[in-house]
């Protein structure tokens, strides 16, 4: 079920600001709502069957993450990709996740390894048919599962709140030829190191995996200049 359908079916009032935030955030991260898109509060009220207050609250949360610009009495606009914000998000996630994989490699758990390998197989199947949305969803599940296996699942949500701009860069880069193959190879290398009980190798593979997103900014800005700030 896509986000638009979710919104339409939520018109009974059972949905609130948190759900609206989640739906709109996913649409922004996936680039279905591209930078520069205008969000009308009245249209959102109609779409979700809500009053102005939960819509306003959801937009304020998106603004706190830097994903929209709210112009009072005018409009709300999806923000361009901010490279400094992307760098900070990448730094935070890489720092936390390096500790996560080292923790897992210090005490390899067969069930956790099997789960991660199963998610890699799912990703490969989605990559084979060009299902980028499902590939991305499974990618997030792969990384979130590592946090949970390490006993720090709550940190995943903290890291995600700072990662909207770097995640949009990753999504923009995903259709480039060879990118999904590269991601799958890197995920497998991380899991291999965890299973082998090698914290240093796990950290090295993870850092390499999460350090590539900013390497292709020049090319992405050439192909999608409208997505970036000045």
* First-to-final CA distance of the chain: 36
User: For 49-59, what is each residue's pLDDT tens digit?
Assistant: 999 999 999 99
Q: Which run of H or of E encompasses 69? A: strand 68-71
Are both 15 and 97 inside the same structural domain?
A: no
Q: Write down the pLDDT at residue 107.
A: 97
Are both 143 and 215 inside the same structural domain?
A: yes
Supply the range of the domain harboring residue 18.
3-78
Are both 28 and 124 inside the same structural domain?
A: no
Long-range pairs for 1-4: beta carbons < 8 A, 24 or more residues apart: 3/27, 3/32, 4/47
The model's pTM: 0.87
Are both 149 and 170 inside the same structural domain?
A: yes
Q: Write down the pLDDT at residue 230.
A: 62
Domains: count for the chain? 2
Are both 133 and 220 inside the same structural domain?
A: yes
Low-confidence ranges of the chain (pLDDT < 50): 1-13
């Amino acid at each position: 079920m896509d986000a638009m359908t979710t919104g339409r079916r939520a018109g009974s009032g059972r949905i609130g600001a948190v759900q609206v935030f989640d739906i709109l955030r996913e649409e922004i991260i996936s680039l279905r709502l591209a930078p520069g898109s205008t969000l009308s509060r009245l249209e959102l009220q109609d779409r979700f069957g809500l009053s102005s207050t939960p819509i306003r609250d959801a937009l304020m949360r998106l603004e706190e993450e830097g994903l929209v610009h709210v112009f009072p009495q005018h409009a709300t606009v999806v923000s361009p990709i901010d490279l400094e914000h992307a760098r900070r998000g990448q730094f935070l996630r890489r720092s936390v996740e390096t500790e996560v994989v080292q923790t897992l490699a210090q005490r390899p758990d067969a069930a956790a390894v099997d789960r991660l390998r199963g998610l890699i197989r799912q990703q490969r199947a989605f990559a084979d048919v060009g299902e980028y949305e499902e590939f991305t969803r499974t990618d997030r599940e792969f990384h979130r599962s590592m946090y949970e296996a390490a006993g720090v699942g709550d940190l995943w949500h903290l890291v995600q709140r700072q990662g909207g701009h770097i995640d949009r860069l990753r999504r923009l880069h995903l259709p480039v030829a060879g990118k999904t193959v590269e991601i799958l190879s890197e995920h497998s290398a991380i899991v291999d190191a965890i299973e082998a009980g090698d914290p240093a190798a796990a950290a090295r593979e993870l850092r390499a995996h999460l350090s590539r997103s900013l390497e292709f900014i020049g090319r992405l800005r050439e192909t999608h200049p409208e997505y970036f700030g000045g």
